[in-house]
Copies of this chain bind each other. A is one copy, B any other.
């Protein structure tokens, strides 16, 4: 069983009220080091079997057609994930 992770973010020029709300709340909780926050969406698609190039191409097409609104959003990443996506904790990425 494989997983494809798709990340969708608002385009940089589009106002992000959710991100601004988080950005306003962080200093009140003592987190002064962050200057901006943007909030987007993360999709995890499951496939039976391996994540082949065909699966990734289909996921990329689905991301453009269904998972994002190309007027205001960018698909920033479409990639195969480790089998257990909850272990996707590599701090180096």
List residues of A whose CB falls within 8 A of some B CB.
4-5, 7-9, 12, 19, 22, 25-26, 29, 31, 33-48, 54-56, 58-59, 61-62, 65-67, 74, 76-81, 85-86, 88-93
Copies of this protein, total: 2
CA distance A44 to B59 in the complex (A): 22
| 4 shortest interchain CB distances as A-B pairs | A36-B46, A42-B42, A40-B42, A38-B44
Q: Is the CB of A44 within 8 A of B40?
A: yes
Instruction: Give the nearest-CB partner of A75 in chain B.
Output: B89
CA distance A49 to B76 in the complex (A): 23
Q: Is the CB of A67 within 8 A of B22?
A: yes
Asked, given contacts A74-B86, A90-B79, whether A35 binds B47 with beta carbons under 8 Å apart, the answer is: yes
